[in-house]
Amino acid sequence: MTFEEFLPEYLAAHSDRRTQLCHAAGTMTAVAILAAAIFTRRPLLIPVALVAGYAPAWFSHWVFEKNQPKTFEHPFYSLRGDFVMLARVLTGKTV
């Protein structure tokens, strides 16, 4: 499966706007914490970034979407999809 084949499935699993916003908030928070870890040379912040990114995303799947996160099936495609969805949320495009 290519990412182009995966993306429609990924976006369909994130149809609720609340899920999209939780993912966007988690992704932006994780990126900020990861940047802080790099710039301050504090590698112990990396697990914090992972939790900050995934916790709201997974919560939104279980509470709003009632489905399983795609992370478990395709972790790297799912991460890439998170950034595609973030871009769509930030530019006002519907997912």
What are the residue ranges spanned by the domains of the chain? 3-91
Q: What is the pLDDT of residue 93?
A: 87
Task: Compute the average pLDDT of residues 55-66.
Answer: 95
Identify the CA nearest to 19 among candidates 74, 91, 88. Answer: 88
- Please report which confidence band the pLDDT of residue 70 belongs to, taking 50, 70 and 90 as the band edges: confident
Q: What is the largest CA-CA distance in the chain?
A: 38
In this predicted structure, the answer to whether residue 95 has a pLDDT above a threshold of 80 is no
User: What average pLDDT is seen over the chain?
Assistant: 95
Q: What is the pLDDT of residue 3?
A: 97
In this predicted structure, the answer to whether residue 28 has a pLDDT above a threshold of 80 is yes
